[in-house]
């Protein structure tokens, strides 16, 4: 069964610190991997989409990496801000017209 | 400017009383999706439209129906809401299917409460 596992489940960091969120997946055949940020009570907002050939992709202070061989991805947040407090969801697309496979997300809290 | 709009943002309905949630988009995208998201869980796809073609997920309850009268609008109808249907309902759109790397844009969601 195609699965996406994220760790940690939740994380608390001090403002200004960096952090890395992990995503492991078993989805095959792989098409692309996406990271979304979801603020409480809001819809997810896309941060990055990476295909098989892309190893790293940045969006401001967010940098995603992908190792398609080991089926792992990470999202690194640099110089965290209070507004980074949200759930970060890893989503993997299987090749072909099948639904996206969502992880349960990592709940990040940035505190002053 | 909002690209995927959902109304209402909060909806309270009584057990068994039909309710309709609406979604509109200004992106002219071919595909529209409805997801159900319960607290601390991943969004779960209920169904999607590729243009006028309706695609229902196998485990979506019969209680849930959808309509897409035109490109811009899509509705989620819950015929007889149960307490277990209380959730956030997310509408999303994309230009084409997910496997083609197209961005999926989500609306802000409608929080449904069933009393």
pLDDT tens digit sequence for B80-114? 999 999 999 999 999 987 666 788 899 999 999 99
Name the residue of chain B whose CA is nearest to A31's CA. B99
Looking at per-residue confidence, does A5 or A94 come out higher?
A5
Contact A104 B90 (CB under 8 A): no
Among B6, B91, B104, select the one facing A46 at the smallest CB separation: B104
For residue B25, the distance in angstroms to the closest alpha carbon of chain A comes to 14
Strands (E), B9-43: 10-13, 19-25, 31-37
In DSSP terms, which residues pair with A87 in a beta bridge?
A38, A107
A102 and chain B in contact, CB less than 8 A:
yes
Name the residue of chain A whose CA is nearest to B90's CA. A43
pLDDT mean over A64-69? 95
Contact A97 B97 (CB under 8 A): yes
Going by pLDDT thresholds of 50, 70 and 90, the confidence category of residue A95 is confident
Q: How far is Cα B14 from Cα B37, in angstroms, rounded to an integer?
A: 19
Contact B43 A51 (CB under 8 A): no
- Compute the CA torsion angle A41, A47, A52, A53 (nearest 10 deg): 180
The pLDDT, as a whole number, for residue A2 is 78
Q: How far is Cα A54 from Cα A95, in angstroms, rounded to an integer?
A: 16
Per-residue pLDDT tens for B7-64? 999 999 999 999 999 999 999 999 999 999 998 889 999 999 999 999 998 899 999 9
User: Angle at Cα B99 formed by Cα B26 and Cα A67, nearest 5°?
Assistant: 120
Contact residues, chain B to chain A, C-beta under 8 Å: 4, 6, 40-45, 57, 88, 90-92, 97-99, 101, 103-109, 111
């Amino acid at each position: 069964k195609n699965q996406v596992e994220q760790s940690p489940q939740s994380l608390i960091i001090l403002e200004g610190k960096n952090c890395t969120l992990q995503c492991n997946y078993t989805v095959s055949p792989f098409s692309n991997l996406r990271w979304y940020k979801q603020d409480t009570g809001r819809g997810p907002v896309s941060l990055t989409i990476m295909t098989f050939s892309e190893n790293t992709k940045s969006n401001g202070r967010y940098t995603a990496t992908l190792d398609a061989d080991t089926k792992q991805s990470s999202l690194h947040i640099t110089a965290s801000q209070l507004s980074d407090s949200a759930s970060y969801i890893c989503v993997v697309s299987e090749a072909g017209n099948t639904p996206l496979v969502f992880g349960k997300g990592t709940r990040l809290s940035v505190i002053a | 400017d909002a690209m995927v709009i959902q109304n209402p943002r909060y909806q309270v309905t009584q057990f068994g009383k039909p309710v309709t949630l609406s979604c509109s988009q200004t992106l002219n995208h071919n595909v529209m999706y409805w997801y159900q998201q319960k607290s601390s869980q991943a969004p779960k796809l209920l169904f999607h439209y590729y243009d006028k073609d309706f695609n229902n997920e196998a485990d979506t309850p019969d209680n849930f129906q959808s309509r897409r009268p035109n490109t811009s609008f899509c509705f989620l109808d819950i015929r007889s809401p149960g307490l277990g249907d209380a959730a956030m309902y997310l509408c999303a759109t994309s230009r084409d299917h997910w496997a083609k790397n197209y961005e999926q844009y989500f609306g802000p969601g409608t929080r449904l409460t069933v009393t």
